[in-house]
Amino acid sequence: MKYVCYYRVSTKVQGKSGLGLSDQMEIVQRYLRDEDVVLEEFTEVESGRKSNRPKIQEAIRACQKFGAKLLIAKLDRLSRNVAFVMTLRDSGVDFVACDLPDANTLTVGIMVTFAQHEAERGSERTKAALAQKKAQGFKLGKPENLTLSAIEKGRAIRIENAKTHKANVQAKELATLYRNVGMTYQAIADKLNQSHYLTRRGKLFDRKAIYRLLH
């Protein structure tokens, strides 16, 4: 079988140091059989998310020229970009990944689409978390957040949110009753924990948490 090998490292530092490159080459050498022929080898120093990668384009043209297959060490070296995988499919070039020889452009396309979807979901979760921080009084990305007034404002908002939180309201009512009959803060915390109450942040109550709850 005729092959054109493609190796990719993600950063310039890796490209200069060879980090990860020797491993890829070793994987390819273990995969090759005695009768196989490697016609050309290409090494790319680029992020997997980018579609415009000159070395992979050269490797594809070499495969088309010699009627060879594109050989890569690991599937994640190919790309995490859906558009690029579809470009590879449309080129008519077959590829083989040493760690998953039975994969093809269809299965890789599905895998990459799912990976991209998960990445987008992760981005959405990050935005939601930042929005929640902002709602709590933080002004994200601004140096003035470090001022005393900004810190106090954020603290006041968090305290107010804690007071109106449904679980905290119920816990406070019980804590008030327990305190009125002479129970210590720690005893109240133990009692609420036994009843599976949690703080607004999802943690168990302790003596300090009870004190803050009642004051």
> Does pTM top 0.75 for this prediction?
no
For the chain, the average pLDDT equals: 75
Segment 9-17 long-range contacts (CB within 8 Å, at least 24 positions apart): 9/43, 9/44, 9/45, 10/45, 10/46, 10/47, 10/48, 11/45, 12/45, 14/45, 15/43, 15/45
Q: By CB neighbour count within 10 A (0-12 exposed, 13-18 middle, 19+ buried), where does 89 fall?
A: middle
Domain parsing of the chain, residue ranges = 2-112, 143-214
User: What is the average per-residue pLDDT within 25-38?
Assistant: 93
* Least confident residue range of 13-17, 70-74, 78-82, 143-147: 13-17
- In eight-state DSSP terms, residue 40 is E
At residue 141 the predicted structure's pLDDT band, cuts being 50, 70 and 90, is low
- In eight-state DSSP terms, residue 18 is T
CATH number of 2-112: 3.40.50.1390
pLDDT greater than 50 at residue 23: yes
Q: Which has the higher per-residue pLDDT, 29 or 19?
A: 29
**Predicted pLDDT of residue 30:** 92
Which are the contacts of 208, defined by CB distance < 8 A and separation ≥ 6?
Answer: 185
User: What is the average per-residue pLDDT within 49-63?
Assistant: 81
**Predicted pLDDT of residue 203:** 80
Q: Beta 2-9 vs 37-45: how paired, if at all?
A: parallel
**Predicted pLDDT of residue 109:** 63
Single-letter residue type at 5: C
At residue 178 the predicted structure's pLDDT band, cuts being 50, 70 and 90, is confident
pLDDT digits (tens, 9 = 90+) for 112-127: 665 566 556 666 666 6
pLDDT greater than 90 at residue 102: no
User: What is the average per-residue pLDDT within 85-113?
Assistant: 75
With contact defined as beta carbons under 8 Å apart, do 70 and 93 qualify? Answer: yes
Strand partners, 6: 42, 72
| End-to-end Cα separation, the chain, in angstroms | 77
Q: Which has the higher per-residue pLDDT, 15 or 209?
A: 209
Closest CA to 197 of 213, 180, 181, 215: 213
